[in-house]
Structure 1
Amino acid sequence: MPERIVFHIDFDYFYAQCEEIRNQSLKTRPVAVCIFSDRGGDSGAIATANYIARKYGVKSGMPIKFAKARLGEIKESTFLPADFAYYSDISEKAMGVMRNYADIFEYVGKDEAYLDVTKRTEGSFERAGHLAQQLKNQIRTEVRMTCSVGVSSNKLVSKIASNFRKPDGLTVVKPEGVESFLGPLKIGDIPGIGKVTEEKFDEMGLKTIEDLRKVDIFTLNKMFGRKISAYIFNAARGLDDEPVAERQPTIQYSRIVTLKEDSKDYEFLSKSIDEICLDLHRTILKHNKMFKSVGIQFVQSDLTNKTKSRMLKNPTSSMDEMKKTALQLLQEALSDQQIAVRRLGVKVSELSDMEGQRSITNYF
């Protein structure tokens, strides 16, 4: 039986890379993608930052105000509101490329996936390394993004390996090299071990995974209980038998447009709803889907976000239903709207496949 081979693929600074695709000039600037809160101004947090911004200490989860303080002297630094509909489109394209390389494909998130490639590589790590490079090349060509890939005989080691040479890395860890690869790494490099746990080990004088191996299972049991201690004990040795399992993303389809002018006038905004729904409906039919939830999204003049959604009684693929619901939500949202809208979007979710073999025209 061939040796199991698993890829873990992780996109480098995903949201910021997506922004670089549509604006190439951002590649030479510090870029931070922000999730603005409803409080206005710079209230909110950084979703992700490119590597130039990271050199100045900007990182995910940091308050926007702190990030701006760190990049304050750099004129070309750019802070952008998160555009999740656009990022989902890029992710879907990238995942489509990855699926073609996998015996078994496991979706983890917009920027992350596991691939079991045992059959197509016949258990050869040399072939796996070549296949991983081909995958990276195709993603760079078709999606115009870089990703980092970890290759090993299990999910745990592959995940650690994908983070080893970021950005744009490729790390192959053969079974006989697992312990020597993991040994010098920090204990916090093990997935699931957070700062608090790492600090506990640090107080014991344990800093590396090699140090962690010196702790017996009984001591770990006293510290963390059976389940967690078993995970830590096995992870320090690169042991993991969890299979790569097919798991589809919770998909939603959405479209968002930048308006010709900022406005909170219903008549003006409703015209854009018509166009957005028409475009979104084409996607629904293309993927042979029905939806049960409709939502609208505002990006306001101050770059804060506002959303409103409604669950329908039954799944449908009707554009009239989509448009009617979106317009109702628009009217309700505008009743107390204080700030003009800069970008307007519609999304559909709670998706299901078209029922049976009935014609799609039955749902119009």
Structure 2
Amino acid sequence: MHPRILLADCDSYFVRCAMLADPEGAGKSDLVIVGGSASTRGVVTSASYGARKFGVHAGMPMGAAIRLCPKAVVVPVPGEMVSRKHHEVRAVLDEFSPVVEAASVDEFYLDMTGTEMLYHDEPLEATARRIQQAVMDRTGISISIGGATGRTLAKMAASVNKPFGVHIVPPGGEAEFMSRFELSDIPGVGPALAESLRRRGAIMVRDLVPIDLPTLVSWLGDSRAEWLYRLARGEDAGRVTTRRPQKSVSHERTFAQDVADPEELETRLMMLAVDTGASLRAEGLRARTVTVRVRYSDFTDKSAARTAPDPIESDRAIFTIARELLRGLLARRGGGVRLLGVGVSKLVGDEEEDLVLFDDTPGGPETERDRTLAQAADRLRGRFGKGALIPARIVKRSPKDGTRGRGGSQE
């Protein structure tokens, strides 16, 4: 029995969510750009297919995007709608497969292996089209679907007929399918690796096939060489799990103007600690390591981390550790800060730990009261909005800089 894996990829997801959130504005335009403000250092999160024809793409400065497409409707990321539609799409997919994995907010893997009798031996493409139509009818979200015997091939197949397309790689046709792509099209082959291979004469996947494994190992090292060697021949062992272990949670902000005042930076650090703590608790996790990242005005990045003997989850504990790390970074180098970030890693679930006595946390151990207060704050913000409960330090200073944020591991 061959594995049957589908990748459901939401088409221009953030744009579609923006259209659904604002049907009288963004919903009536073919030219929509989602992202930060052009008056600050905002960047494009996503662009409609119409705007993409003008050269607009994710990651470019919003100011440049507007110059390319001046008639576009520019809207911020509709966070509430993005979250709601993610769960709605997932609920539909769960009805078609016993194993569904959310790879990101807008990508879902389905393991259809062994469901042939359930669907009366209909072709996998026919099943995929029924899934596609069900998601559209019940959520308003367009998806493209790729199918193959492995995860990576399914992901690449989903990109072939976007938007609202289906492409299935038949068992035995994997190598032929891969031969059409450039190496840089493979998920996991970044610009540096692609350039390294290009210098050796390998641009297309088919250029790699004649190269033996020992030679590839001498170029790339053992693990990466074997992975690429097999994938170039259509051998993809990637499978679907109901939940992939989360490695980190982080939030960061790029400021409209460089910030040099240490007190102001600590206030903004507190905002990030609150966001990071909320994301951590939403996943039912605690963290052992806190990391602070600073990018200076000359684009130099510096970071510092601290690993504690016991995991934490409260905003207070995250902030107090992060503040000590930030002070250490600023003591080694002053000057304007362009970006500030807080991350947590070495995550564990609530069920894996008893009450933490974090004796060496700056400001004292994390207590049950800290956790109770943090969880109560989460409930209030969930019911009344993010601004329903804000730390007093943030309210007093209330910086208005038009910052833009980026969630870390959930992206």
Mark yes or no: TM-score above 0.5. yes
8 Å contact kept, 2:183–2:205: yes
**Greater alpha carbon shift after TM alignment, 153-162 vs 119-128:** 119-128
State the alpha-carbon separation in 1 of the partners of residues 54 and 68 from structure 2. 6
- Residues 124, 5 of structure 1: alpha-carbon distance in 2 compared, 3 angstrom cutoff: farther
Match in the other structure for 1:241:
237
State the alpha-carbon separation in 2 of the partners of residues 293 and 83 from structure 1. 27
**Greater alpha carbon shift after TM alignment, 324-333 vs 213-222:** 324-333
Q: Percent sequence identity over matched residues? A: 23
State the alpha-carbon separation in 1 of the partners of residues 245 and 107 from structure 2. 11
Instruction: Find the residue that maps to 2:86 and give its secondary structure.
Output: helix
Match in the other structure for 1:85:
80
Match in the other structure for 1:224:
220
Instruction: Find the residue that maps to 2:240 and give its secondary structure.
Output: coil
State the alpha-carbon separation in 2 of the partners of residues 153 and 223 from structure 1. 28
Match in the other structure for 2:173:
177
State the alpha-carbon separation in 2 of the partners of residues 85 and 45 from structure 1. 20
8 Å contact kept, 2:21–2:81: no
State the alpha-carbon separation in 1 of the partners of residues 67 and 387 from structure 2. 39
Q: CA deviation at 1:321?
A: 6.8
- Residues 3, 211 of structure 1: alpha-carbon distance in 2 compared, 3 angstrom cutoff: same
State the alpha-carbon separation in 1 of the partners of residues 148 and 179 from structure 2. 16
8 Å contact kept, 1:8–1:114: yes
8 Å contact kept, 1:94–1:143: yes
For 1:68, give the aligned amino acid: I
State the alpha-carbon separation in 2 of the partners of residues 27 and 222 from structure 1. 55
Match in the other structure for 1:277:
none
Q: CA deviation at 1:11?
A: 0.8
Q: CA deviation at 1:156?
A: 1.6
Compute the TM-score of the two structures, normalised by the length of structure 2. Answer: 0.62
Match in the other structure for 1:313:
371
In the TM superposition, what are the counterparts of 1:1-364 in structure 2 within 5 Å?
Answer: 2-24=1-23, 26=27, 28-36=29-37, 41-72=39-70, 75=71, 77-122=72-117, 126-247=122-243, 312-314=370-372, 322=380, 327-329=388-390, 331-337=392-398, 339=400
- Residues 50, 205 of structure 1: alpha-carbon distance in 2 compared, 3 angstrom cutoff: same
8 Å contact kept, 1:152–1:172: yes
Q: CA deviation at 1:100?
A: 1.2
Q: What do the CA deviations read for 1:52-77 (whole angstroms, capped 9, x no partner)?
A: 111111111111121122113xx3x1
State the alpha-carbon separation in 2 of the partners of residues 60 and 103 from structure 1. 33
State the alpha-carbon separation in 1 of the partners of residues 208 and 121 from structure 2. 28
Q: Which runs of 5+ in 1 are unaligned?
A: 253-286, 295-306, 342-364
8 Å contact kept, 2:18–2:81: no
8 Å contact kept, 2:7–2:147: yes
8 Å contact kept, 1:183–1:208: yes
Q: CA deviation at 1:205?
A: 3.1
- Residues 229, 315 of structure 1: alpha-carbon distance in 2 compared, 3 angstrom cutoff: farther
State the alpha-carbon separation in 1 of the partners of residues 112 and 378 from structure 2. 44
- Residues 17, 194 of structure 1: alpha-carbon distance in 2 compared, 3 angstrom cutoff: same
- Residues 248, 217 of structure 1: alpha-carbon distance in 2 compared, 3 angstrom cutoff: closer
Instruction: Find the residue that maps to 1:313 and give its secondary structure.
Output: helix
**Greater alpha carbon shift after TM alignment, 113-122 vs 129-138:** 113-122
8 Å contact kept, 1:3–1:124: no
State the alpha-carbon separation in 1 of the partners of residues 379 and 9 from structure 2. 38
* Number of residue-to-residue matches in the alignment: 287
- Residues 233, 315 of structure 1: alpha-carbon distance in 2 compared, 3 angstrom cutoff: farther
- Residues 144, 185 of structure 1: alpha-carbon distance in 2 compared, 3 angstrom cutoff: same
State the alpha-carbon separation in 2 of the partners of residues 223 and 320 from structure 1. 49
Q: CA deviation at 1:242?
A: 2.7
Q: Which runs of 5+ in 2 are unaligned?
A: 250-281, 287-312, 316-340, 343-368, 403-411
8 Å contact kept, 1:187–1:198: yes
Q: CA deviation at 1:232?
A: 0.7
8 Å contact kept, 1:45–1:63: yes
State the alpha-carbon separation in 2 of the partners of residues 320 and 6 from structure 1. 36
8 Å contact kept, 1:13–1:49: yes
8 Å contact kept, 2:44–2:59: yes
- Residues 290, 184 of structure 1: alpha-carbon distance in 2 compared, 3 angstrom cutoff: closer
8 Å contact kept, 1:156–1:238: no
- Residues 27, 175 of structure 1: alpha-carbon distance in 2 compared, 3 angstrom cutoff: farther
